[in-house]
Chains A and B, each alone.
Chain A
Amino acid sequence: MSVESLEKIDTKVFERPTTLIDTEMHYCPGCGHGVAHRLIAEVIDELGIVEDTIGVAPVGCSVFAYNYIGVDFSQAAHGRASAVATGIKRVLPEKYVFSYQGDGDLAAIGTGETIHTCNRGENVLIIFINNGIYGMTGGQMAPTTLPSMKSTTSPFGRDTKSMGFPLKITELVAQLPGTYYVTRQSVHKPLNVRRAKKAIQKGFEYQKLNKGTCFIEIVSNCNSGWKMSPVESNKWMDEHMLAYYPLGDIKLPNDTEA
């Protein structure tokens, strides 16, 4: 076979999803946000719902999600993404609406909106990136920072006596009758990436059923905030974060219907 004919064979086995905008991301090398963005874009492409999807970006590292995921997007005030998603979904009930929020946004300043959006059973998908730290503002303590974990505002480690305990908000929202599908995933290993994608796909698909809120936590790393290399941070995440935030489904549709 000549070189020319070889070139004609389509050898592409991996490509950028159409919905993932071809641009430089501001995320630190090694950060999980890029993978999570890609999975969302892949799912939107595969479900063919780019025209029917509206995203809500939070305040935090993923504030610029609208520069990377090529669907219509609304950027929300800190903590209010699920309220903004509620507003959009209520006037456009036939569309797919998702919010993408970090731990500070969703589980600290926006706890009220998160709980009540889930309690009303808004038919939206909430994607919650939990990396146990405030990344964008430079490594401060998050509601999900682990006990004894150091941050710039818990420099001697999180003392649960004075700083409280890491909030397992995902387990909390799973208790609410308004949630339909609640799961905790990660994107630090190939197998986990595949599982997270499956979860995101379900989260979008279930919106059509109008059965309630889908809530996907993705435990992620923040190598910059944690002051580790990407590899170290993933190892640390495996050993510490996942011990406190175990992966897996917390509430499945069958549980709701049972």
Chain B
Amino acid sequence: MIKLMKGNEALAEAAIRVGADAYFGYPITPQSEVLEYLAREAEQKTGMVVLQAESEVAAINMVYGAAGTGKKVWTSSSSPGVSLMQEGISYIASAELPCLIVNVQRGGPGLGTIQPAQSDYFQSVKGGGHGDYRMIVLAPATVQEMSDFVKLSFELAFKYRNPVMMLTDGALGQMMEKVEFFEQQERETLDLDWTTVGKPPTRSHNFITSLHIKPDKMEEVNIHLQKKYKLIEENEIRYEEIMCEDADYIITAFGLVARICTKAAELAREKGIKVGVFRPISLFPFPYEQIKSHTGKIKGILDVEMNAGQMIEDVKLSVEGKVPVEFHGRMGGIVPTPDEILEALEKYIAGGKL
């Protein structure tokens, strides 16, 4: 089924179709359509629990409780709301609960703006809450991916017993595009041995906790988590390369910005500058090696983001100083245009920086 839909609505529809059991959320612009769509559609279609919590703090803890039963549970919010969820995310990561958290980012810091931004990269990828933990972070670039990645996120969440974040932005949430949905899946009860669903006589009681008072036990838990993250790094790197084969320059960008950069690359090629675009899709795990593999063939990288320069740190780590990496960013809710990206690229080239 092909539909013309807002990104936020595609997200909600995909969660219904994937057979999600529960959504707990709190309204915040620019993602309130998610809760609104679910409130209209979800219960009657699949019986998904949809609950408007009293705060994002409550919402993420409802997710924690429900995810502990092995159900498919999710929430969504936008930057300030996701900040409020960080404590809960840390608990979820430590207790190894599968769930989906969507951040439809807006410009910050503080209350900021309701316009799109990508300034929560650090928070999402490096761990916004306390302790050594990682979420799997996926960055959709199209409304189609807003739908597809919901399915993928739940698969990864349950495969690794880990929270997955879809890191998107207000523009992608609000814009309408064509989206082809996957078939409706049945809600299912998974047979899992760790869940808190009531203790049958055949096992001792399960408990979900992130408290390990004894340091040797807490270190053991940390070592286990780090092993899991390593496994995720080995198996779940996702990225897209556009016109990179013959490129002299590569633009790195994630999410919607990568599409704008693709247009900029096309404009550059019309001018005879061979530019490609490398789009990390999984932000954790980050495609370090895949970016590095280009360094022998290119003169430099322009990293473009809707922030002050966050992913660029990982891009720089990737290339190990072998090629120069420059930055063009817009902040506060401004979306860069293809022309200004091309202009920035040409300026860096002319100035001998790239």
**Interface-facing stretch out of B8-16, B66-74, B242-250, B314-322:** B66-74
Q: Is B350's CB within 8 Å of the partner chain A?
A: no
Say yes or no: A72-B206 contact (C-beta < 8 A), given A80-B88, A88-B196. yes
Q: How many residues of B contact A (CB 8 A)?
A: 41
Contacts of B59 in A (CB 8 A): 83
The answer on a CB contact under 8 Å between A77 and B61 is yes
When each residue 142-153 of chain A gets 1 if its CB lies under 8 Å from chain B and 0 otherwise, what string results?
Answer: 000000000000
Q: Which of B49, B62, B196, B208 contacts A83 (CB 8 A)?
A: B62
Q: Which of B51, B53, B62 has the most CB of A within 10 A?
A: B62
Contacts of B293 in A (CB 8 A): none
Contacts of B196 in A (CB 8 A): 54, 72-74, 88
Q: Which of A56, A73, A77 contacts B88 (CB 8 A)?
A: A77
Say yes or no: A66-B209 contact (C-beta < 8 A), given A77-B88, A86-B51, A95-B198. yes
Contacts of A84 in B (CB 8 A): 61-62, 64-65, 68
When each residue 51-93 of chain B gets 1 if its CB lies under 8 Å from chain A and 0 otherwise, what string results?
Answer: 1011101110111111111010100000000000001100100
Interface size class of A (residues with CB under 8 A): 20 to 34
The answer on a CB contact under 8 Å between B69 and A73 is no
Considering the complex, which residues of chain A in the window 118-161 have a beta carbon less than 8 Å from any beta carbon of chain B? none
Contacts of B64 in A (CB 8 A): 74, 76-77, 80, 84, 87
Q: Which of A75, A83, A91, A115 contacts B207 (CB 8 A)?
A: A75
Q: Is B211's CB within 8 Å of the partner chain A?
A: yes
The answer on a CB contact under 8 Å between B61 and A83 is yes
Contacts of B55 in A (CB 8 A): 112
Compute how far the CA of A113 lies from the CA of B55 in the bound complex, rounded to whole angstroms: 9
Say yes or no: A77-B205 contact (C-beta < 8 A), given A90-B62, A91-B69. no
Compute how far the CA of A32 lies from the CA of B325 in the bound complex, rounded to whole angstroms: 63
Contacts of A70 in B (CB 8 A): 199, 204-205
Compute how far the CA of A216 lies from the CA of B62 in the bound complex, rounded to whole angstroms: 22
Q: Is A51's CB within 8 Å of the partner chain B?
A: yes
Contacts of B200 in A (CB 8 A): 51
Q: Is B215's CB within 8 Å of the partner chain A?
A: no
Q: Which of B55, B61, B87, B200 has the most CB of A within 10 A?
A: B61
The answer on a CB contact under 8 Å between B199 and A74 is no
The answer on a CB contact under 8 Å between A75 and B69 is no
Q: Which of B61, B68, B73, B197 contacts A80 (CB 8 A)?
A: B61
Compute how far the CA of A77 lies from the CA of B54 in the bound complex, rounded to whole angstroms: 16
Q: Which of A71, A76, A112, A116 contacts B65 (CB 8 A)?
A: A76
Contacts of B24 in A (CB 8 A): 87
The answer on a CB contact under 8 Å between B71 and A116 is no
The answer on a CB contact under 8 Å between A54 and B197 is yes
Say yes or no: A72-B22 contact (C-beta < 8 A), given A80-B58, A113-B54. no
A123 to chain B, nearest CB (A): 13
A204 to chain B, nearest CB (A): 13
Say yes or no: A113-B69 contact (C-beta < 8 A), given A63-B211, A72-B206. no
Q: Is A231's CB within 8 Å of the partner chain B?
A: no
Q: Is A53's CB within 8 Å of the partner chain B?
A: yes
Compute how far the CA of A113 lies from the CA of B87 in the bound complex, rounded to whole angstroms: 15
Compute how far the CA of A87 lies from the CA of B51 in the bound complex, rounded to whole angstroms: 9
Q: Is B169's CB within 8 Å of the partner chain A?
A: no
B7 to chain A, nearest CB (A): 26
Q: Which of A75, A80, A88 contacts B211 (CB 8 A)?
A: A75
Closest Cβ neighbor of A94 among chain B residues: B198
Contacts of A73 in B (CB 8 A): 196, 205-209
Q: Across the A-B interface, give the 7 residue pairs with the lowest CB-CB distance, nearest first.
A: A87-B65, A84-B65, A87-B62, A87-B66, A83-B61, A75-B209, A80-B61
15 contacts between A and B (CB under 8 A): A56-B65, A66-B209, A72-B196, A72-B206, A73-B207, A74-B64, A74-B209, A75-B208, A77-B91, A80-B57, A87-B64, A87-B67, A87-B73, A112-B55, A112-B58
Interface contacts beyond A72-B205, A80-B61, A84-B68: sample of 11 additional A-B pairs, CB < 8 Å, sorted by A: A53-B198, A54-B196, A72-B207, A73-B207, A73-B208, A77-B87, A83-B53, A83-B57, A87-B64, A88-B65, A116-B53
Chain B interface residues toward A at CB < 8 A? 21-22, 24, 49, 51, 53-55, 57-59, 61-69, 71, 73, 87-88, 91, 95, 195-201, 204-211
